[in-house]
Amino acid sequence: MNIQEAKEEIKKTVRAYTARTAAGTFRIPVPRQRPVLLIGPPGIGKTAIMEQIAGECGVGLVSYTMTHHTRQSAIGLPVLTEKQFAGKAYTVTSYTMSEIIASVYEQIEKTGCRDGILFLDEINCVSETLMPAMLQFLQYKTFGSHALPEGWVIVAAGNPPAYNRSAREFDTVTLDRVRYMKVEPDFPIWKHYAVESGLHPAVLSFLELRPERFYVMEPGEKGFVTGRAWEDLSEILLTMEELELGVEEALFGQYLQDEDTATEFTFYYRLYEKWKKELKPEQILTGAADVPTNLPSLPFDERLCIVWLLLQRIYTLGRAYEEQQKLSDSLRFFADGLGQGTAEQLTALVDERLDRRRKSLAVRKENGLLAAGEEEREQRLFNVIRDCREAVRTGGATDAFSERSAQEQNRAERQRKELTAAMQNGAAFVREAFGKKQELVIFLTGLREQPVCSRVLQEELGELSGEAEDFLNAGGKEEELRRKLTEQQA
C-alpha cells in the first residue's frame, strides 16, 4: 500500500481501538488490539503521517526512536523491595516505571487526552537484549510490571533490512502479534501532499517530467533519493530564493545523493531560474504581459517549467487567501463570543479568553498537534485581538472587534478575487501560448489538485472548470497524461 492508504487505515484503527460501548468498555478488548507495524523504505513519510493522524483523530501522541533505548530505559531500573508471602518476608526485584510508559502518562497529564498513539520508530533496530521485552510489549502492552494506559494504540515502524544494516527481519512469533502493513513509495500520492504543502515549482515540475527520479534506492547501492530529500531541498531553495542568497550547484548533490538525479535536476533548475526572470509570472497573472511568440517551439521540459511557474504563483495566492479567510473566521468566532458590555467588562473577558487560547496553543505545540501554519496564524490572530483590546481599553470602542472582523473579511474577499483573476489569466496565457494541448491539460489539472484553487474553480469559474472536466474526460486523465509526458521526453 502507499503512505496515504496506510494513514487512512491507521486512522480507522485508532477510532476502532478507542471506541467504547455505552457502558464505557472497549468495543475491541485490549488484548485483541494488535499493534500496527509499518515496514517500508526510508524517507516515504512513515513518521510524518503519525502527527497528521493524531491531529485529525484528536488524540495524544508520544514518539520514540527505539535505537536510542537500552533495556534499562525501556523496561525501567531494578529495585529491591520487601513483600510478605505466607507470613514470611522476602526480598524481591521490581522495576521503576519505564521511561516510555512514564512519557505516556505525562502526556495524558499535559493534554487531558486519555486516548492516544504511542509511536515506536525503528523498532526492528533494537538491541538483542531489548528484543524479548519488545515482544512482550507488543503482545501484552507492558514493560516490566507497568502497563500502557488503556486507550493508547501502539504503532511501530521500521525499514527492511535491505536498507538498514542494523535492522533485522521479524520472526513469525512477532508477526503473529501485529497488524503488518508494507508501505511503498508512490509519486502521485506524494505529489498531492507536495502541491498542498507548497513545494518548490522546480521540484514539482521536474518530478512531473521524471517521476522515476522521485525515489531512487537500490539495496546495496550508495546513491539514493527519497521523498524526504525532495521536501527538504524544496524548503531550502524557497528560503534561499526569498533571501536572494544564490543557489550553488553543490547544494543539489547534498540533498539528492544520487549523481544522475542531482545532475539532471541541476540542469532543470537553471531552466527554472531562466524562465522566472524572463517571464515574470506576476505580470502574466494580472493580465499585464504579452505572450512571447517563441514559446510553442521550446523543448517540452521548458514548456512544462513555464506552466509550473504560473501554477506556483497561483498556489501562493491560494494559500494566502486561505490563511486570511481562516484568520477572519477565527476573529469573527472570537468576537461573537464576547457579547455586549462595558469597556472594562469586555477587556476582562478578552484577557480571559485570550489566555485560554494561548494555553491551548502551547499544549498542542508541545505535543506536536499543530497543523501546518497554525502557529503563525494564531500569532497573527493574537496580534489583531490585542489591537482591538487596546482600542476598547483606551478609547471605549466596544465595537472595535466587529469593525476589525469586517475589515479582515473584506481583505479575504479581495484576495479571493485576485486568485480568481490569476487563474483566468493563467489559463488564457497557456491557451494562447501553446493551444489546447498537453500544457493546458497540465495547467488545469494543477488547478484541480490544489484544494483552494479547486474550490474556487468549481464555485466561480464554471466555464474553466467545465473545460478542465472535458479535458480529463476526453483522455487527459493522469495516467494517460503521464504516458504522453514520457513519450515527449523520449
> Could you list the pLDDT tens digit for every one of the 490 residues in the chain?
888 888 999 999 999 998 988 888 889 888 888 899 888 887 778 877 888 888 888 888 888 887 766 666 666 677 777 888 888 888 877 667 777 888 888 888 877 788 888 888 887 777 777 777 777 788 788 877 778 888 899 998 887 776 666 666 777 877 778 889 888 888 888 888 888 888 898 898 899 888 889 888 765 556 788 888 999 999 999 999 889 888 888 899 999 988 889 999 999 999 888 888 888 888 888 887 777 778 888 888 888 888 888 998 899 899 899 999 999 998 888 887 777 778 888 888 888 888 888 887 777 676 666 666 777 888 888 898 888 888 888 877 778 888 888 999 999 999 999 999 999 999 889 888 888 888 888 888 888 888 898 898 888 887 777 766 666 665 544 445 445 545 544 4
Pairwise CA distance, residues 78 & 95, whole Å: 4
Strand partners, 156: 37, 120
Residue with cell 503521517: 49
Rounded to an integer, what is the distance from CA 305 to the centroid of its chain? 25
Q: Any alpha helices (H) in 120-226, and if so which ranges? A: 131-140, 172-175, 187-197, 201-209
Cβ atoms within 10 Å of 393's Cβ, excluding its own: 16
How far from 485 is each of 6, 93, 202, 208, CA to CA, in Å? Answer: 29, 67, 16, 8
Amino acid at 188: P
Q: What pLDDT does 418 receive?
A: 93
Q: Which residue in this structure is represented by grid cell 525532495?
A: 230
Residue 172, burial from CB neighbour count under 10 angstroms (0-12, 13-18, 19+): exposed
- Confidence at residue 472, expressed as pLDDT on a 0 to 100 scale: 61
**Which of 163, 78, 158, 173 is closest to 126 using CA atoms?**
158
Cα–Cα dist 351/345, whole Å: 10
How far apart CA 426 and CA 312 sit, in angstroms, is: 11
Helix ranges (H only) for 160-297 are: 172-175, 187-197, 201-209, 227-242, 250-255, 259-279, 281-285
Q: How far from 211 is each of 41, 189, 217, 439, CA to CA, in Å?
A: 17, 12, 14, 17
Model pTM?
Answer: 0.73
Mention every residue, 6+ apart, whose C-beta is less than 8 A from residue 286: 421, 422, 425
Backbone angles phi, psi at 64, to 5 degrees: -140, 140
Backbone phi, psi, residue 370, to 5°: -85, 135
Closest alpha carbon to 45 in 4, 103, 1, 98: 4
What's the rounded Cα separation, in Å, for the pair 414 and 325? 11
Q: Supply the pLDDT for residue 369.
A: 63
Query: Which residue in the block uniquely carries the three cell numbers 485508532?
Result: 14
Cell of 164: 538498514
The Cβ of residue 387 has, within 10 Å, a number of other Cβ atoms equal to 11
3-state class (DSSP) for residue 110: helix
Show Cβ contacts of residue 468 under 8 Å, excluding neighbours closer than 6 positions. Answer: 444, 445, 447, 448, 457
What local confidence, expressed as pLDDT, does residue 407 receive? Answer: 92
Q: For strand 36-39 and strand 179-182, is the pairing parallel, antiparallel, or unpaired?
A: parallel
Instruction: Quote the pLDDT of residue 477.
Output: 47
The neighbour count for residue 101, using CB atoms within 10 Å, is 24
pLDDT value at position 449? 84
Beta bridge partner(s), residue 61: 117
- Comparing CA positions, the residue from 442, 464, 423, 194 lying closest to residue 300 is 442
Give the cell for residue 83: 513483600
81, containing H or E segment: strand 78-85
Residue 139 pLDDT: 78
Question: Domains plus CATH for the chain?
Answer: 3-69+107-184 (3.40.50.300)
